[in-house]
Structure 1
Amino acid sequence: MKLVPATDAHCTFARDLTRRAMLPYYREFDLLWIEEAFDEAWGWREQWLVVEGEQVLGFCSLSQDRQALFIRELHLLPEYRGRGVGGEVLEELAEWAARRRLPLLRLMVFKSNPARQLYLRHGFVEMGEDECFVRMQREVG
């Protein structure tokens, strides 16, 4: 598994994958999915494809501040979920944060998303929550 830069040509793939993965949670928590918001964020976030050889397995979207690398999105195609790929991506991103001299890797996850367990297994701790989301972080370096 490796992460390669996504281009604007991958935006539709990434948006559709995100929508399919997140729509059940948006419905559960009575939130509105806004296509334009995804497309706008595409321009200012770091966008990466998760690939194995020539096969695209998914994508992740990142941002950072002076303290943390934020995982804004991390989505795999359904056939690649539950195979350890997500864990590999998390470990790779922890290394990136350390190389960038950032002490933290952060994310938010819907409360009911089973990926929450994946994050806990990979060293993330829950820092707080609201009606929909749990804020999580992992120390790196």
Structure 2
Amino acid sequence: MGQGSIDISFERLGNTGFSFAEEIVRENMAVYYQQHELGFNRQQFRQFLSEYESYILKTGNNEIGIICLSFEADVAYIRDIQLLPEYQSKGIGSWVIKQFETTLLRRNYRALRLRVFASNPAYQLYQRLGFAEKRNDGATIGMEKILSAPRDQ
């Protein structure tokens, strides 16, 4: 799989990926955790990763990001998506989400949901990708993208 001139692969997260996943989330999310006075609990994070369908994003042998998904009935949830700073703003996040949208459609999911901090610039990315705001509590925004029209229409 690839995006532009970067060849990207997805590798199911195993025991060796926990440290990378923890590091990227802690670094990328530090400003938001500080803004909202949230702490980082390593044990809870590892539990979270093991409960969800989690992948390491790689280019060659280099780990460049993570994506974690969960599923409920016919709805999939992006629980986390992170890229190393040097891979951000290159279209990679959009490409990764679109790849998973295609897979989810084949698996008969009708919608993809996520939650983003209101101050996170990724909010604009999700809007461009077709996600609509469903909930806003001031700190976080719940968003949804319908992957296919309901069969009853």
Kindly state the Cα deviation for residue 30 of structure 1 after the two structures are TM-superposed.
1.6
Alignment of 1:34 onto 2:32: no
The aligned amino acid for 1:30 is E
Deviations along 1:52-81, whole A, 9 cap, x unmatched?
A: 233321111111111211111100011100
TM-score normalised by the chain length of structure 2: 0.87
The aligned amino acid for 1:131 is G
Count of aligned pairs? 141
Partner of 1:93: 100
Task: Supply the distance in 2 between the matched residues of 1:86 and 1:38 (Cα, whole angstroms).
Answer: 21
TM-score normalised by the chain length of structure 1: 0.94
The alignment partner of 1:123 has SS state of coil
The alignment partner of 2:120 has SS state of coil
| Residues 45-124 of structure 1 mapped to structure 2, 5 A cutoff | 45-124=52-131
Runs of 4+ aligned structure 1 residues displaced above 6 Å come to: none
Deviations along 1:28-59, whole A, 9 cap, x unmatched?
A: 11222222210111221111011223332111
Which protein shows a greater Rg? 2
Partner of 2:144: 137
The alignment partner of 2:46 has SS state of helix
Task: Supply the distance in 2 between the matched residues of 1:37 and 1:55 (Cα, whole angstroms).
Answer: 26
The alignment partner of 1:131 has SS state of coil
> Unmatched 5+ residue regions in structure 1?
none
Deviations along 1:88-134, whole A, 9 cap, x unmatched?
A: 01101111211110100110000000001111111111101113210
Task: Supply the distance in 2 between the matched residues of 1:130 and 1:31 (Cα, whole angstroms).
Answer: 16
> Unmatched 5+ residue regions in structure 2?
1-7, 149-153
Checking the alignment, whether the CA contact within 8 Å between 1:71 and 1:107 is kept in structure 2 is yes
Checking the alignment, whether the CA contact within 8 Å between 1:68 and 1:97 is kept in structure 2 is no
